[in-house]
Amino acid sequence: MQEQEIEEIERTLLLEAIFLRYGYDFRNYSQATIKRRIRQFVAKNDFETVGDLLPRVIRDPSFFQSLFFDFSVTVTEMFRDPSFYRALREEVIPLLRTYPFIKIWLAGCATGEEAYSTAILLQEEGMLEKATIFATDINDDSLLRGQKGIYPLKLVREYTENYQNTGSVCSFSQYYYADQKHIIMDRTLKNKITFAHHNLVSDQVFGEMHLIFCRNVMIYFDNTLQDRVFKLFDQSLIRGGFLCLGNRESLRSFSLSNKYERLDTKNRIYRKHVTHLHKSNLPIIHSLPSHE
């Protein structure tokens, strides 16, 4: 048996052990992503093989937490992809104004930058008071950082530039105060965001939402898990609600795709049909290419 085949067996055993021991299911994550992150973790911790991780992961919860962090780490920033927030401001917000209140779910929120970006946008559009924002993730350390709303001062120039490119005419500095090393987000924003643990792989419907974000999360899932998550979002979204995906993701050709129309193709914003139409009368949302 070749070394590559042995490593694949070891990786399968490791993911099964994590599920049985800790309840976190990474078995349907993109195999290319999992392979890369396990190899990086093995090298960083001076192990020789993936199999060497098994006893330590099973018996040492603190060691597992370090591996878990590597598995669940995501790249995020304030107003990431400014054109997306400009599209929200111009295309989605005017439609959301018709509701007496709005509920927003940011799935896979990481350390909360996207949640604060959304709260700022709503504040500027006069809609924050009637909004409830739920920001969820499987990584409790990331959620705690989001709750604190404290970010490195060295990133503020990048965040400010992103913010300005969303079409705002206000000043980003009015939404935080700074010390020598950090910016601390304004309490008015914090009070409108509820950070909560939620696992897209295993947990159920989160609530009845008007707007759902899940941007650049499902690129790490295989097709089976993507279908599962799309169905979860569909069950959580009101008719006429909006689903926002990342720029490398799309509603693929699966059983529920015909319930949605593309509101903004470039920024991957979809709207669930307001009324139930026969499947044959609805446009099909074709898959867009995704790359690892």
The mean per-residue pLDDT over the stretch 91-108 comes to 96
The mean per-residue pLDDT over the stretch 214-228 comes to 86
pLDDT digits (tens, 9 = 90+) for 70-93: 877 667 899 999 999 999 999 999
Q: Which overall architecture, per CATH, does domain 82-150+186-281 show?
A: 3-Layer(aba) Sandwich (3.40)
Six token digits for residue 252: 């693929």
Under 8 Å between Cβ of 132 and 101: yes
The mean per-residue pLDDT over the stretch 94-112 comes to 95
Q: Which letter, b or e, does each residue of 219-250 get, where b requires 16 or more Cβ atoms within 10 Å of its Cβ?
A: bbbbeebbbebbebbbebbeeebbbbbbbebb
Cα(122)–Cα(142) distance, integer angstroms? 23
Q: What percent of the chain has pLDDT over 70?
A: 92
Residues 227, 231, 235: CA angle, nearest 5 degrees: 170
Looking up tokens 């504040």 gives 123
List, by residue range, all CATH 3.40.50.150 domains of the chain: 82-150+186-281
* Bridging pattern class, strands 209-214 and 237-245: parallel
* pLDDT top residue among 201 and 237: 237
Residues 6+ away with beta carbon under 8 Å from 59: none
The mean per-residue pLDDT over the stretch 192-208 comes to 90
**Which residues is 264 bridged to in the sheet?**
269
* pLDDT top residue among 193 and 285: 193
pLDDT of residue 189: 97
- Asked if residue 10 has pLDDT above 50, the reply is yes
- Asked if residue 277 has pLDDT above 50, the reply is no
